[in-house]
Structure 1
Amino acid sequence: MAWWRLNRRCSWRRTEPAVLAVLAGLPEAAALLDAGGMVRAVNTPLQAALGPTQPVRPGWPAERIFAPALRAEMADWLAQPGAAPRESRLAAPQGMPEAPVAIRRITLPRGDSLLLLQDLTPRQAAAEADRLQTLGTLAGGIAHDFNNLLTVVLGASEDAQRLAGAADPVLAAELTQIRQAAGRGALLVKQLLAYARQQVLAPRLVPLNEAVEGIASLLRGSGQRQGVALEVALDEAGRMVLIDPSQLDRVVMNLAMNARQAMPQGGRLRLSTGRLVLLSPLPGVPDTVPPGRWTVLEVTDTGGGIPPEVLPRIFEPFFTTRPERGGTGLGLATVHGIVRQSGGFMVVESQPGQGACFRILLPRVDEPIADSLPAAPASAQPACHPAGPILLVDDEAPLRRLAERALRRAGHDVVVAEDAETALALLEEGLVPGHLVSDVAMPGMDGVALARAMRARLPRLPVLLVSGYAHAAVDGGLEEDGIRFLAKPYGPAELVAAVGEPVPAE
């Protein structure tokens, strides 16, 4: 029991045992203060929140309980006996997040007071979950509409560039800029979806050491910043993680690029792998890691470190410390979203002047790779034109025209429909398509339902679903049904290539 008996003289002697008993029995963090705002005693929950490196001593000014940046304003608040309840943050052990608390002060007889500090971390976690859900819904809608627009821009500019050809190099150069701008817009949408954990992932078992070695070779080959040495320290070979390999590359490359920018005068960038067993939760920024067996990937630099007041905000979307250098504030938010959507957690540790360490913890996978990867199809048909016409279904007329033009130019026979009901009516009239290409999100019946309705009549019908609404692709187990997916925005050539992919034989 972390409390002290103080000043056992005079009338305090009668009331002290009862007050200290109440203090010790409170489930939330609390402190007993004297009339001058000095600490008389604290209970066990408060001492646990402050950590063993900050033992509270009798006679401390009460503002020392709080985060250093807030102590001046907390001293002013404590000096006002009737001040209204407020929120603040507790002091934290070095490298740990400052716990948010709601504070109330109850005046006791003879000028003493009880300071009650309710932990707001669960409430903030729930609010963050609600915010992510709202953002996910918003990002999904933005992705659907924006990617439809970008598909039109990419497709039209690609067609215009093909028609311009070498006859008008100036126009061709302008069209190239349009396509590049559309590509950057598509990347921005993907970053938003990654932060909102709504992107479509293709996880598989990946040998972590091999992946890190591959990224290290890219970093060396891309021209390491002058004076920045790259070190690689790998755990035992064969350690596997379940993650989308392209997204793992994206995470590490993003962190490595940030680390290099943090060392303009040179330094050391270290990529390392390891393992960790946690018997109790590990609090950190931005995540508290639950107990379990973890495979660890660390990206460490020897740069100037991250200021304590900035550290809790670096994973917020659109927060950047480098706006003058084109920072969007989505890089670390994207990285965190990818890690969390992959079942992992992140913890960053940094001290001014001592660099930063970004630690990624992914669930440990112990089964052999051969037992977990999906079996490859026994045989596949070579890529070729389908036996019947392609049935193209999309409710957006510009997209429908672009897709039809691209497929016809590639030599395909195409029948178009503006919605699922029209497509099914064509089947009733005798159409036997050789391939279905359909948008996912459409008024009335969506593309997934259309694909299954058509498969009920034509079980071997190849199906390609396209969508700018990324999370629609994960609903309903498309891969198990042999239905392929192409994300918008796509160029005409990508659509033609996707239609021409081999179809697994049954």
Structure 2
Amino acid sequence: MAWWQFNRWWSRRAADPAILAVLSGMPEAAALLDSNGTVRAANAPLRAALGPTQPVRPGWPVERIFAPALRAEISAWLAQPDAAPREWRLAAPQGMPEPPVAARRISLPSGDSLLLLQDLTPGQAAAEADRLQTLGALAGGIAHDFNNLLTVVLGASEDALRLAGPADPALAAELTQIRQAAGRGALLVKQLLAYARQQVLAPRRVPLNEAVEGIASLLRGSGQRQGVALEVVLDEPGRMVLIDPSQLDRVVMNLAMNARQAMPQGGRLRLSTGRLVLLSALPGVPDTVPPGRWTVLEVTDTGGGIPPELLPRIFEPFFTTRPDRGGTGLGLATVHGIVRQSGGFMVVESQPGQGTCFRILLPRVEEAAAESLPVAPVAPQPLRHPPGPILLVDDEAPLRRLAERALRRAGHEVVVAEDAETALALLEEGLVPGHLVSDVAMPGMDGVALARAMRARLPGLPVLLVSGYAHAAVDGGLEENGIRFLAKPYGPAELVAALGEPVPAE
């Protein structure tokens, strides 16, 4: 039996049924650990606390339960035979608060131990934050799984369209509709990821005044609703902000469309920029803005305003006041997610009959720091491919087959593995890959850990990680030289291009 097979068997061996019964009946979050600090089982409260984006499962190192910044300290604490209880923070989706817990470990005669985690979140406000965090984690988990499905649909339809060729235009038209529908599904997933603050962003230095003027010209040219006057007031000198420009456009356009709908009888829509220095925290809805220097963007209307009882809820996902007019309840949730993932905050002020002001506060980019920031994204340089096959690792069989087909069609030799443990076993058997292409979220060892383990043996190995989550949601390691990231859903041609090579002509 190979070492990796033994480890898999050891992590899955049956635990004492009495211990498992106690674990499942505990009201507080808890996990059963083996003598190496690996998770053998987790109860429902712990899975709920971590959410779908951290699907704790047997074989996990226990450190992954906790916030990334604390994991080295956690390892040292767990290594102590009689470690005193400590306060830590659990892992959370990117941009979400990390729940505080009091952790204690109870040794069992079998050599296993129970890790008990008492929730230290204070007050009703924190309970509400936990509820929204769970919704965000759920959205991120659904988006991840849906992205896997969309990748299969896009890849299979692209392959079928290539095989159909010009000989069957009717079939080609049907396949094109499938691809278009999958594309629309991908846009919906991006909304969910934006709410969950896990979408892929390409931030760069953007002149805020110029961006607002560009959006204003689009609003004027798109047939402004009759009776709604557009007013633009720009602070001078203009300020730079660090944000994905396409997402900034999306935020402002969404707020402007909402403002139009709030003024069916006409009114005034105002886009304005400014600056603000806060010496103390500024409470607001939905965010409390911390002290600091902020660049401000405001979208204000003179509509009917928002009732006080509804104001705290308007940023909740799937909450809408216009279900009969096609409202999905994702617009403001998406806007808020984009702003928070970009390092900013939002405050909304409204009174019935007095209109509404949405205020976005983005971190001020100081001139000294701005000089070191890229004005535009830098095109990645092609990777050098050492000799050897591509090692393709993915636990989803349909995705594995599609990716293998695309890579072989591009002229690559491909070796496939269904998980990280199998991939490492192939290395033990003598495989020397020239490139690693791996999914991130897999049972057992994830793609990031696999990349690190393989680079420890093959320094400089080019790595491409793919995931339905955002670059920022992946746990570290992506900034090392030669490691790239490809977000799902992707088509076969995008996979080949992500390797830094030209896509072969058909």
What's the TM-score once normalised by structure 1's chain length?
Answer: 0.67
Tell whether the 8 Å contact from 2:440 to 2:474 is kept in structure 1 after alignment.
no
The answer to whether structure 1 residue 219 and structure 2 residue 214 are counterparts is no
Deviations 1:161-216 (A, max 9, x none): 33334444443333333333323333333322322333344444433223323333
Residue aligned with 1:485, SS = strand
Tell whether the 8 Å contact from 2:270 to 2:299 is kept in structure 1 after alignment.
yes
What amino acid is aligned across from residue 198 of structure 2 in structure 1?
Q
The answer to whether structure 1 residue 131 and structure 2 residue 112 are counterparts is no
Deviations 1:364-419 (A, max 9, x none): 23243544427999997557876443221111110011111122223333222222
Tell whether the 8 Å contact from 1:195 to 1:337 is kept in structure 2 after alignment.
yes
Alpha-carbon distance in 2 for matches of 1:495, 1:223: 40
What residue number does 1:306 align with? 306
What residue number does 1:71 align with? none
Alpha-carbon distance in 2 for matches of 1:134, 1:283: 23
What residue number does 1:449 align with? 449
What amino acid is aligned across from residue 133 of structure 2 in structure 1?
Q
Alpha-carbon distance in 2 for matches of 1:358, 1:237: 22
Alpha-carbon distance in 2 for matches of 1:384, 1:272: 48
What residue number does 2:259 align with? 259
Shift of 1:472: 7.4
- Shift of the 153–350 alpha-carbon distance from structure 1 to 2, 3 Å rule, reads same
Tell whether the 8 Å contact from 1:194 to 1:334 is kept in structure 2 after alignment.
yes
Tell whether the 8 Å contact from 1:205 to 1:372 is kept in structure 2 after alignment.
no
Alpha-carbon distance in 1 for matches of 2:386, 2:409: 15
Aligned residues: 382
Shift of 1:341: 3.0
What residue number does 1:476 align with? 476
Shift of 1:258: 1.7
What amino acid is aligned across from residue 174 of structure 1 in structure 2?
E
Residue aligned with 1:368, SS = helix
Residue aligned with 2:183, SS = helix
What's the TM-score once normalised by structure 2's chain length?
Answer: 0.67
What amino acid is aligned across from residue 284 of structure 1 in structure 2?
G
Tell whether the 8 Å contact from 1:390 to 1:436 is kept in structure 2 after alignment.
yes
Alpha-carbon distance in 1 for matches of 2:189, 2:379: 37
Tell whether the 8 Å contact from 1:473 to 1:485 is kept in structure 2 after alignment.
no
Query: Residues 284-303 of structure 1: matches in 2 within 5 Å?
Result: 284-303=284-303
Deviations 1:24-47 (A, max 9, x none): xxxxxxxxxxxxxxxxxxxxxxxx
What residue number does 1:247 align with? 247
Alpha-carbon distance in 1 for matches of 2:486, 2:141: 17
- Shift of the 227–494 alpha-carbon distance from structure 1 to 2, 3 Å rule, reads farther
What residue number does 1:489 align with? 489
- Shift of the 341–407 alpha-carbon distance from structure 1 to 2, 3 Å rule, reads same
Task: Say what the alpha-carbon RMSD is for the aligned residues.
Answer: 3.2
Tell whether the 8 Å contact from 2:463 to 2:484 is kept in structure 1 after alignment.
yes
What residue number does 1:318 align with? 318
Tell whether the 8 Å contact from 2:225 to 2:260 is kept in structure 1 after alignment.
yes
- Greater radius of gyration (CA): 1
Tell whether the 8 Å contact from 1:143 to 1:470 is kept in structure 2 after alignment.
no
- Shift of the 177–265 alpha-carbon distance from structure 1 to 2, 3 Å rule, reads farther
Alpha-carbon distance in 1 for matches of 2:387, 2:301: 57
- Any unmatched runs of 5+ in structure 2? 1-121
Alpha-carbon distance in 2 for matches of 1:360, 1:399: 40
What amino acid is aligned across from residue 296 of structure 2 in structure 1?
V
Deviations 1:60-89 (A, max 9, x none): xxxxxxxxxxxxxxxxxxxxxxxxxxxxxx
What amino acid is aligned across from residue 495 of structure 1 in structure 2?
L
Alpha-carbon distance in 1 for matches of 2:230, 2:261: 14
What residue number does 2:420 align with? 420
What residue number does 1:282 align with? 282
Tell whether the 8 Å contact from 1:385 to 1:500 is kept in structure 2 after alignment.
no
Alpha-carbon distance in 2 for matches of 1:499, 1:160: 23
